[in-house]
Each structure stands twice: as C-alpha cells, then as structure tokens.
A and B are shown apart, each in its own frame.
Chain A
Amino acid sequence: MKIIRIDKKNWAGGLEKLKGSYRLFGPVKDNEFHNFKRLDKDELPDFNYFNTRLSPKSIIYPQSEIMLEYELDENKENHHVMKESKKDYSQRVVIGIRPCDASAFLLVKRNFDTPEYKDPYWIRSYEATTFVGLACNNPQATCFCTSAGCGPFYEDGLDVLLVDAGDHFLAKIISSKGENLLEAAGWDTETDADEQIETMKQEAEARITSFVTTNKLKDKKIIDLFDAPFWEEVAFACINCGTCTYVCPTCWCFDIQDEAYGLCGIRMRNWDSCMFPLFTLHGSGHNPRSTNMQRVRQRFMHKLKYYVDKYNDGIQCVGCGRCIRLCPVNIDIRKICNMMNSYEVQVTSD
C-alpha cells in the first residue's frame, strides 16, 4: 500500500484545496472538549486530542434527521402523501477520525445495510464519506480497542490512515477513495515508511493497558446469560439515562416521529435509547422491559451476546471507552463483559 508523506507546512493548504470538492469535518475544541464539526474556510482540525467527547457517528447518522415530508393542505395536490426530503449527499471527508470510531461504522453497517432492506439515509451518507483516520499514538487508560476487535492503528473502515510523525504526517492509502482524496489535496510525495509505521503501531498497542475477555461469549447460551444472577447488582447504580448509548459509536437505535407545522409536516428519526422505558412501552401499557435491570441487561446483552450470535464476528463494541468515561455513575462495560465471559451456570445437584 502506498504511503504519502505530507509535510505539516503543506497541511493547511491541502485541506483548503480539498474544501473545493469536499465538505470537511474534523475535531474542533469547543468549550472544554473536542467534537467533530464541519470545518469552515481556513478552519483546521485540531489534532491535539485523545478522542472526541461524542463519537463521530452523527456525521453519518444525525441525532435528528428528517426522512420524509408532506403537505396537510387538502387543496394541494398530493396532500397527505409522503415524499423523500431532499438532502445533500455530495462527497465529504472526515479528517482525524480515530480508527476505533471508523471501524464502528462497519459494525453499524450490518444493521442498516441488510440483504432484505437498505436504509437509504445511512447508506447514502456513508457512501458519500471518505474517512481519514488519525492513528492513536497515545491511547487512554480507558481504551480497550485491541481486545475489542480493532486497535490504535486499525485500518478497516478507513480510506487513509494518517500517522503523526512529528514535522510530517505519513498517509497510508487504504482505498481508492483515499487515493482520490490525497490527489485532490495535491499531496503526492511517495515515501517508504512501512517499517516506521509498523514500529509506531507496535509501540501504540503496547501502551494499551486495558482489556476485555470475550472468547467464551459465543459458546454461552443466551438464556443462561439472560438469567445470570449478577444483573440486579450490575444495574443497581444505573439511572437509566441515555449517556452510554448516545456517546457510543456503535449504538444505532432510533425512534420515528411526525412533526407538523401548520399545514406542512415532516417525518423524522431521532436517536433513541434502550435505557428509556418508553422505548419498549406497548400501547396497552404493558412493557416487556419495564425495570431498570431489564433495560441495563438489554444493553449489555445486545452488545456482548445478541450481536455476537447474530453476526458471528465479535462484539458490538470497539473499545473507545466513552461510556466508561462519561457514565454518571461509573458503570463499566469492561467489568460486565468479563463477568459475562466468565459466567458459568451453576449445576444443581438434584
């Protein structure tokens, strides 16, 4: 794979050039933390960050998104008939996404791009986007990506992997989308840095100090884990807010809502959370997940067992650690994952 050397003095110029043909998104420090946002003219991504407070999932899958629109005025033609809203799916690039967050999109894709149904909003957004990853030279103490199926230099899900090498970046081209992007920016100095990147990768991986064990999840029975005795204790502290699900790059649940303003209306979707009782409340008043414990169990069972069984390719988690850092009451997925992985059903003697 080709590696391009980008001198940092050519960085801003290249990005400005890109803005001619791409919409650019990158990490920017706003208030006290970094988040991804659209980069205006002369605005640069700020790479002085561990990871963004919120995952970049909203770039592909906004928290609130209009899907359809309609007229309620009976004098108008096609009143009450839904039509797709016009959207901007012109090409764009996310600069400086962490490899874990980019690989999260691959996990989420399985939900939105299925053999039977295609979610056009998610797929069009995703396909219009080029992902330029920023390798993690300094992972955090709460990062456990290497045991969650990716890593600080992980390439799947990226089109280009950028490695910060001091006065220059090394840009490893991973896909043709990535190649086109570097060309458009005018960065074309090929270099031979495979070994350098490999060394940096190994160093970064060695800095990961936090792990989960997932090897036995697959072989356990859903029912056994579901009925395991530890859920009440795991769930005690949980206040059932949506923080973990909203900051998570791999959580995708949503709600569909109509909103009408006068005689015009929209159908939109908003992120939803399995932590909220309303998520599963039936019209009759019955709620299959009415208790705090049932909802907490659903979240972890979904990520660490149902997903594992459904797709047979690992857990629905990339180890970014956001839910651990931001949970108001310190519920730690690493602890629960290890509990589930090591759980053995007690065989009663009778």
Chain B
Amino acid sequence: MLGYLTKIWTISERLLKESKVDMVIGFRKGTVPMMNEPCVVKSPENVKELVWDSNCGINLANYLTDRKEKIAVIAKGCDSRNIVTHIIENKIKRDQLFVIGVPCKGMIDRHKISSMFEKEIIEVIEEENKIIVRGNDCEKIFKKAEVLQENCAICIHRNPVIYDELVAEPVKEQTDIDRYKDVRRIEEMQVEEKNNFFDETLSACIRCYACRNACPLCYCPTCFVDESRPQWLGKSIDPVDIKTFHLLRAFHCAGRCTDCGACQRACPMGINVRIFTKKLEKDCFELYGWEAGMSLDERPPLDTYRPDDPEDFIK
C-alpha cells in the first residue's frame, strides 16, 4: 500500500495540469503519530503534499457533500461506497468526480495501539505488514493484522467499487469473514442486559458529535438533536438523551452505512459507536440482501418497495 503514493502523485498532477479537475482531495501528513489530515490540493506543484498510508481512516466522501467543483478524490473501498451513496442521494454528481481508487489493505487503529503501548508514542513507522511503534527509549513491533481497525479486519470490500483510475492492481478480498459476531452477541442479550450494555458503552460520551460529523451520511442541514421545534431530545449529558442520540443516528444510517469506521476513529473517547450502526447494517443484509453503496443502479432498501418484503406491516 505504501507503493501507491507515486501513482497518486502522478495521477493528481496530470489531472490538475490538464485542468480535468479543480482540486484533489486526499490526505497530508499529520503532526502527531497515526494521524493524517484530510486536505485539498489545487495546484500541480503541491501534489507531493499528498500522503498515503494506514492512517487514512477518515472517510473522504464526507468532504464531497454539496460541492460544486470538479473534484478528484482518493478513495479506498469504503470511501468509494459512500461516494456511490452520495451520488444516489444527490449530494454530488458522478460527472463532477474523478475517483482515484485505492485498493485498501486496512487502516490501523490508533486507539488500540495507544492502549497496547504503555509509554507515550513518539513515532509510528509502517513497513509492509509491520507497524513499528516507538516511544522514548522503547520500541514495539506489531503485525499490522493485529492492530487493524476492527471494521477493516472484517472488511470484504477493500477494492473501490467505482473509480476512474486505480493506483494499483486490486487486492485480494477477504473471504470467510464472520462480520456480525459482535452484533449477535448483543442480540442474544436479555432486554435489561442489553440496556446496561448500551449505557456502559456510551458512558464516556461527551456529546461532541465527532461520530456524526465524521460520517458522510450525516449531512442533514439540521440534525434531529439540534432541532428546537419540536425539540426531540434534551441537550444535557443525561444518559437517556445520549442513548437516544446514538440509537436514532444509527437508525438514520440504516441501509446507507458502509461500516467505514470513521465514526469510531473520530471519537475522542474511543467509544465503540460502530456497534449500533452495524446492527442496522446486519439487518439490511439479512432482510434485503443489501450492502450499501455497491452500485449506482440500485435504490437502497428503505426507499424501495418489493412485494416480497419480509415485513408484514407494509403489505
């Protein structure tokens, strides 16, 4: 994956030089370990600002919402599926976009690595399949597979589903993955146990909305939590309000979520917020055989009706 960079530079430079696009949206090197910053490059001289490594977990589809320019965007598998969803939902037009597709081998989990390294992390170096973490006078080497973001570890669509140019040959997709083990564990819980689990999971939430704002699906001009007339929920850190926010947000993402993991990556408190969206993702898969953002030609399950709908209430 590290070898992609030259190709990203070449493509970006060419597109900007030939004025095929007004800008390239990608990542630049961050100022702290395991962080890159989404950025925009507008002139061919600056393409070398762009980086690509296993710290590009933020979903760049989030930066396309309602933009009017012609844009080249660097997209891994999940980004590309959210780009499809964006196009279907009229948040951007296909012909505005030049998708630079990146076959992805997964992003590393900064929360996890921090918790596996007792000292302050000064530097994280990536070699193919190896992550070297350095502190002051200490070093630890992890296999990349051990420290992948969980959504990446169970990802079955690593290759972009739409693209105008790929930076490398497609990677082999993972097979025989049990995607919903954690969801099943919760489904099996009794009501009270489930409730306690939700409360426990969300106990650290500070309502900063990083999860919502990092999510390309959450583009509502006024989110239901911000609505004042009617005011659907309180603004305090009352656990009921916090839980309502997370559960309702998950429902709003039903049939649209690609499990890109941006919400969880963004959370400053390291909360497993994906667990909620994943339940809806699982339901959509099991009820409708649906995976979000796989094709521009198919309407998502919650805005289509089929006579063989598994739910009785709708018939």
Interface residues of A (CB under 8 A from B): 30-33, 50, 53-54, 63-64, 138, 140-142, 233, 236-237, 239-243, 246-247, 255, 257, 259, 268, 270, 273, 276-278, 324-326, 328-332, 334-335
Contacts and interface: CB of A to CB of B under 8 A. Distances in A.
B234 interface: yes
A101 B30 CA distance: 25
Interface in B13-47: 30-32, 35-40
Contacts of B210: 239, 241-243, 328
Given A241-B208, A243-B210, A325-B32, A259 B62 contact: no
Contacts of A335: 31
B206 A63 contact: yes
Interface string B260-287: 0000011111100000000000000000
B235 interface: yes
B138 interface: no
A334 to B, nearest CB: 7
B141 interface: no
Contacts of B224: none
Given A242-B209, A247-B268, 4 more contacts: A241-B209, A242-B206, A328-B268, A329-B38
A322 to B, nearest CB: 9
A203 to B, nearest CB: 14
Given A236-B39, A240-B213, A328 B265 contact: yes
Contact of B235 (A54, A255, A326): A255
A335 B213 CA distance: 23
A53 B269 contact: yes
A334 B31 CA distance: 10
A236 B31 contact: no
A324 B237 CA distance: 24
A141 B270 contact: no
Interface residues of B, number: 38
Contact of A328 (B58, B63, B204): B58
Q: Which of B114, B204, B238 has the most CB of A within 10 A?
A: B204
B62 A239 contact: yes
A142 B32 contact: yes
B214 interface: yes
B243 interface: no
Given A54-B206, A141-B122, A239-B214, A330 B32 contact: yes
A257 B120 contact: no
A277 B35 CA distance: 26
Contact of B208 (A30, A33, A243): A243
B69 interface: no
B236 interface: yes
B207 interface: yes
Interface in B227-243: 234-238
Contacts of B207: 63, 242, 246
19 contacts: A33-B270, A53-B268, A64-B236, A140-B120, A236-B39, A237-B39, A239-B214, A239-B266, A240-B213, A241-B209, A241-B213, A242-B206, A242-B209, A243-B208, A246-B268, A273-B208, A329-B38, A330-B30, A332-B32
Contacts of B268: 53, 243, 246-247, 326, 328
Given A64-B237, A325-B32, A330-B30, A237 B37 contact: yes
A47 to B, nearest CB: 15
A233 B235 CA distance: 31
A199 to B, nearest CB: 20
Given A236-B38, A259-B234, A324-B32, A329 B58 contact: yes
